[in-house]
Structure 1
Amino acid sequence: MKVLIARMNHETNTFSPVPTPLEAFGRNGPSYGEDAYRHDKGMQTAMAAFIDAAERERVEIVTPVSASANPSGPVAASAYEAICHAIVAAAPGCDAVLLDLHGAMVAQCSNDGEGDLLERVRAVLPDAPIAVALDLHGNVTQKMIDHADVIVSFKTYPHVDMYETGAHAARLLFDRLHGRSRPVIAWRQPPLLAHTLRSATAEGAMERAVKAARAAEADGMLAVSVLSGFSLADIEAPCISVVVVGDGDRAQADVVAARIAQQIWSEREDFVYRSAPLAESVAQAAVFARTADKPVLLLDHGDNCMSGGTCDTMDLLEEALRQGFERVVSGPLCDPEAVAALHAAGVGATVTIAVGNKRPGPSGQPRPPFRVTGVVRALTDGEYTITGPTYTGQRAFMGRSAVLDIGAATLVVTERTHEPWDLGVFESVGIDPRRARFLLLKSRMYCRPVFVPIAAGLVECDSRGVTSSDYALFAFEQLRRPVYPFDEETVWEGAIGV
């Protein structure tokens, strides 16, 4: 038996000006063939779990590509075609397929990156079972449902169950191959744009939805996934979904999908996040700091790296300095031009330079420059190893990096947008984040497992960047209406009937 295993991950913010060429998928592009196998083997990815499961089954493994990029703007057509071609070209002669996908990819040539890929794989292998692992923020489409036999998504956000999700999908695939089950898929999608800050799985309506999914699995469903969707994509339905994999009885699976979808719809207001004005959020952080002996976290979710943010919006830092904050550490701030100038100046040099505000916000208009004078404290290659719990052991690449001390604040400036997965984003450039009074992070959620334990408090700050929670900032043109919360009177009867 021969099994195709591949990875294609990208969460696309169609409003982001950050480009996504082929080189963005990895350090310098995707890994292919044996390199793809080595890249994921031993990691905490779904693809790694696929490999382990296939090796236990003693099947022949084909790994044409492993491609994963940080969230950003639409994937270049040439990049999308290159990755898809690698997968489709490897499909002939394979008996089964395991795909580690995100679920919210939009390319310049495709509004449904995963659905179009699955359609192409299915055309080559009409009878081979296809199992897919998805991110919790995937935007499920009819093509994805039509061309996959098994779909399982993460059940945690922040995501810490990537490997477990892959293991689950692989188990169902091999059970089908061995005749132990007959997977069938049911799907319901309420017209609800869920905010990412309301998709955390340890609280609120999302926690209750995931608990209902787990209970349904314990009651006999092969897999039940609640995908909050990724709303910063101008496609037809970037909405929340419930996907149920049943064992031979699609009607029964649909009853479960309808029940959980109706539960979600009845609590739809709890999936909506309403931001406070930025000045109020910063003032709240100042109150926390008065009695704190640890840093106060200010999370700039309006310019969040892992939702396609530019990571160069300076609104939050400017407001913090306006309110008199000191002992501030901010970063990673993405500004390749500034990094080049700081590396040219050298450690110890005093420079006056414009940092950030180089890329447009949601309006598409240029931002005023943020000019500062400071001392270059460190220059590095921007590489470190993530210690966990997310992507434990994976090598991280910020691009060339620099530390600029401007007195009240210390800035970590990088060539690449980069999520603060780990204390290593600061420790790798010689900064101990525990010694800061305020930590300003370009993050929404992934930083929390690492930075919350060293912090005295946390404040969510909306800087009005391209990942803002204020959907009114974005010019949706393809979105199917009515949809909640844009249309408050939206009525949905999709949970009724089959």
Structure 2
Amino acid sequence: MKILIARLNHETNTFSPVATPLESFDPQYGEQGYRAAKGSRTAAGAFIDLAEAAGAEIVVPVIAGANPSGRVAAAAYTHLTDTIVAAARGCDALLLDLHGAMVAENSDDGEGDLLARLREVVPNVPIAVALDLHGNITQTLIDHADIAVSFKTYPHVDMYETGEHAGRLLLDMVAQRVRPVMAWRRPPLITHTLRSRTDEGAMARAVARAKEAERDGMLAVSVLAGFGLADIPAPCLSVIVVGNGDQNAAEAVADRIAAQIWAERADFVYDSEPLADSIATAARAAESDTRAGDKRGPVLLLDHGDNCMSGGTCDNMAVLHEALAQGLEDIAVGPVCDPEAVATLIAAGVGAQVTLKVGDKVAMPQLGLYPESKSLSGTVAAISDGEYVISGPTYTGQRIRMGRTALLDIGAAKVIVTETPQEHWDLGIFTHIGVDPHAARFVLLKSRMYCRPVFVPIAKAVVECDGDGVTSSRYEKFPFRNVARPVFPLDKDSARN
């Protein structure tokens, strides 16, 4: 048996000004792609393990993934999908590690259009797809995949397990042990990412119902929160049910879970408080008396309005400037993405006293935001190559390369400045350049969720801050033009249609 295994991942924020060219994906082809995926805690890594255990011949056309950003460049999307389609000819099965929320300059449905093209080339070959929990699912994807399974955790810690699930079902299908049928529902509900955590609220209850349906006989049941920062017809929550031969049973499960979600739709909406109020809350949390039993450690300021892993520019300074205006001190900040500032700091050298503009240099024209960069004065405290190794639990062992990195000490804050946007996978983002986040009074992170497994355990409190940025939870800021209406919560009084 000859099995194609490919990975093509991108979560597209169509409002983000951050470009997504081919090099953003760091594509690895053929044997190089195989080595990149083999042993990784990704769906593609699971696919390879399953295929090798089955004694299959493996074809890996490309392994490619980019951090969330703006629309994928047309040339990049065409090249990557052409590479996968060309390799599909002559294969007996396809295993695809996709995101589900890719939007390109030449495709509003990146995954669906890829699957439609593959079906033209291999009309009768089984196709299984592993998806991110934040995928925006379309009828095109459902029509052209035999099996679709998404993550059940956010933060995502079950990428490998999802690939194993989807791949195992495909091998069972090839062996005629199962006969997959799919049902799906997509209520007109745009969720907020901060309400897609799978450890609390309506999302946790929906995932629990999905797991229950799997225990009761469904082959796979997935609840995908969707990714709302995409101006496409339906950036909405979806439920996908893979049944075993009984279409009516699968449809009934999809109906039940979708109905539960719709009844609890208000719980998928996050209401941001004013930034000034959030900073005041953080100040009070820092002042609370640890002798009374309160937890020690820094107060986390999570700047989810400029979140790296939702397409943020990572150079928005609103949260820091508000914190400084309110007199907060002993703040560890980082990283701010500003290659120009990094170059200036490195040229000045460690120990130099400098005054320079940092951040707020990337315009956000779709939101009508043109920030004015302000000057910071301080000492160049350290310079590094910006590299560290993740200790876990996500992407354990992976080396992170942030580009050249500098530490600017302005007295009230120590500001890490990098050449590239970065998510906070590990404390190493601070410790590699000599900053101890345990010792800070406040730690300001441009993150929503992925920081939590490593930073929340050391924190005294967590305060979510919605500064100006293209990943804000205030949907009223975003000029949605292509979304099908009515849809909740953009249309608060909308009835399900």
Range into which the TM-score falls when normalised by the shorter chain: over 0.9
Do 1:43 and 1:394's aligned partners in 2 also have CA atoms closer than 8 Å? no
What's the secondary structure of 2:336's corresponding residue? Answer: strand
Q: Following superposition of structure 1 onto structure 2, how do residues 145-156 of structure 1 map, counting pairs within 5 Å?
A: 145-156=142-153
Query: Does residue 5 in structure 1 map to residue 5 in structure 2?
Result: yes
Indicate the residue corresponding to 1:359 in structure 2. 362
| 1:389 corresponds to 2:397 | no
AA aligned to 1:333 is V
| Cα distance between partner residues in 2 of 1:122 and 1:412 | 48
Once the two structures are superposed, residues 7-47 of structure 1 have per-residue CA deviations (whole angstroms, 9 ceiling, x without a partner) of 0000000000011111111xxx2111111111121111111
Matched residue SS, 2:354: strand
Q: In 2, Cα distance between the equivalents of 1:405 and 1:142?
A: 52
Superimposed CA distance per residue, residues 282-322 of structure 1 (whole angstroms, 9 cap, x where no aligned partner): 11111111135311101001111110001111000001101
Answer whether contact 2:3 2:93 (CA < 8 A) is retained. Answer: yes
* Residue in structure 1 matched with residue 476 of structure 2 by the alignment: 472
Q: State the partner residue of 1:213.
A: 210
Aligned length, in residue pairs: 490
Pairing of 1:48-447 with structure 2 (within 5 A): 48-290=45-287, 291=289, 293-361=296-364, 363-447=367-451
Shift of 1:389: 0.9
Q: RMSD across aligned C-alpha pairs, in angstroms?
A: 1.0
* Residue 464 (structure 1) shift: 2.4
1:12-31 correspondence to structure 2 within 5 Å: 12-25=12-25, 29-31=26-28
Unaligned stretches of 5+ in structure 1? 494-498
Contact 2:15/2:367 (CA < 8 Å) preserved in 1?
no
For residues 254-301 of structure 1, give each alpha carbon's deviation from its aligned partner in whole angstroms, at most 9, with x where no partner exists.
110011000000000000000010011011111111135311101001
| Residue aligned with 1:163, SS | helix
- 2:10 maps to amino acid: H
State the partner residue of 1:496: none
Per the alignment, in what secondary structure is the counterpart of residue 403 of structure 1?
A: strand
Judge conservation of contact 1:43–1:393 (CA < 8 Å) in 2: no
Q: Shift of the alpha carbon at 1:249?
A: 1.2
Measured in 2, the distance between the counterparts of 1:417 and 1:368 equals 19
CA contact under 8 A between 2:408 and 2:416: conserved in structure 1? yes
Q: Secondary structure of the equivalent of 1:331?
A: strand
2:43 paired residue among 18, 35, 46:
46
Return the alpha-carbon distance in structure 1 between the equivalents of residues 468 and 407 of structure 2.
25
Q: CA deviation at 1:363?
A: 2.4
Q: Give per-residue Cα distances to partners, 1:398-417, cap 9 Å, x unaligned.
A: 12111111110001111111
Counterpart CA distance in 2 for 1:335 and 1:232 is 24
How far apart are the structure 2 equivalents of 1:427 and 1:66? 31
Aligned to 2:488: 484
In the aligned structure 1, how far is the partner of 2:397 from the partner of 2:57?
Answer: 26
Residue 267 of structure 2 aligns to a residue in which SS? Answer: helix
Cα drift, residue 184 of structure 1: 0.9
- 8 Å contact from structure 1 (residues 43, 392) kept in 2: no
Q: What SS does the aligned partner of 2:50 have?
A: helix
1:341 Cα deviation from its structure 2 partner: 1.3
User: 1:364, 1:69 → 2: CA distance?
Assistant: 26
Question: For residues 91 and 329 of structure 1, what CA distance do their matches in structure 2 show?
Answer: 49
Kindly provide the CA deviation profile for residues 445-467 of structure 1, in whole angstroms up to 9, marking residues without a partner as x: 11000100011010000002100
Are the equivalent residues in 1 in contact too, given 2:11–2:99 (CA < 8 A)?
A: yes
* d(CA) in 2 for partners of 1:383, 1:480: 44
Secondary structure, in 3 states, of the residue corresponding to 1:463? coil
Aligned counterparts of 1:165 and 1:399: Cα–Cα separation in 2:
32
Question: What SS is found at the alignment partner of 2:367?
Answer: coil
One-letter amino acid matched to 1:334: C
SS at match of 1:379: strand
Please list the CA deviations of residues 80-131 of structure 1 after superposition, one character each: whole Å capped at 9, or x if unmatched. 1111111111111110000100000000110000001111111111111000
Secondary structure of the 1:184 match is strand
Q: Distance in 1 between matches of 2:408 and 2:62?
A: 38
Q: Distance in 2 between matches of 1:465 and 1:99?
A: 32
How far apart are 1:342 and its partner, in Å?
1.4
**Distance in structure 1 (CA, Å) of the matches to 2:369 and 2:468:** 13
CA distance in 2, matches of 1:363, 1:68: 26
| Distance in 2 between residues matched to 1:41 and 1:342, nearest whole Å | 39
Distance 2:246 2:204 in 1: 27
* C-alpha separation in 2, matches of 1:86 and 1:345: 45
Report the CA distance between 1:365 and its aligned residue. 3.1
One-letter amino acid of the counterpart of residue 326, structure 2: Q
- Tell me if structure 1 keeps the 8 A contact 2:423–2:450: yes
Q: 1:158 is paired with a residue of what secondary structure?
A: coil
Gaps of 5+ in 2: 291-295
Q: Check whether the contact 1:49–1:167 (CA below 8 A) recurs between aligned residues.
A: yes
**What is the alpha-carbon distance in structure 1 between the residues aligned to residue 218 and residue 46 of structure 2?**
21
Instruction: Give me the TM-score of the superposition, normalised by structure 1.
Output: 0.97
CA drift of 1:345 comes to 1.6
Identity of aligned residues (%): 65
Q: Name the residue aligned to 1:459.
A: 463
2: CA distance, partners of 1:363 / 1:110: 22
Give the superposition deviation at 1:391. Answer: 1.3
Whole-angstrom distance in 2 between the partners of 1:250 and 1:376: 64
State the Cα distance separating 1:364 from its structure 2 match: 3.1
What stretches of structure 1 move > 6 A for 4+ residues in a row? none
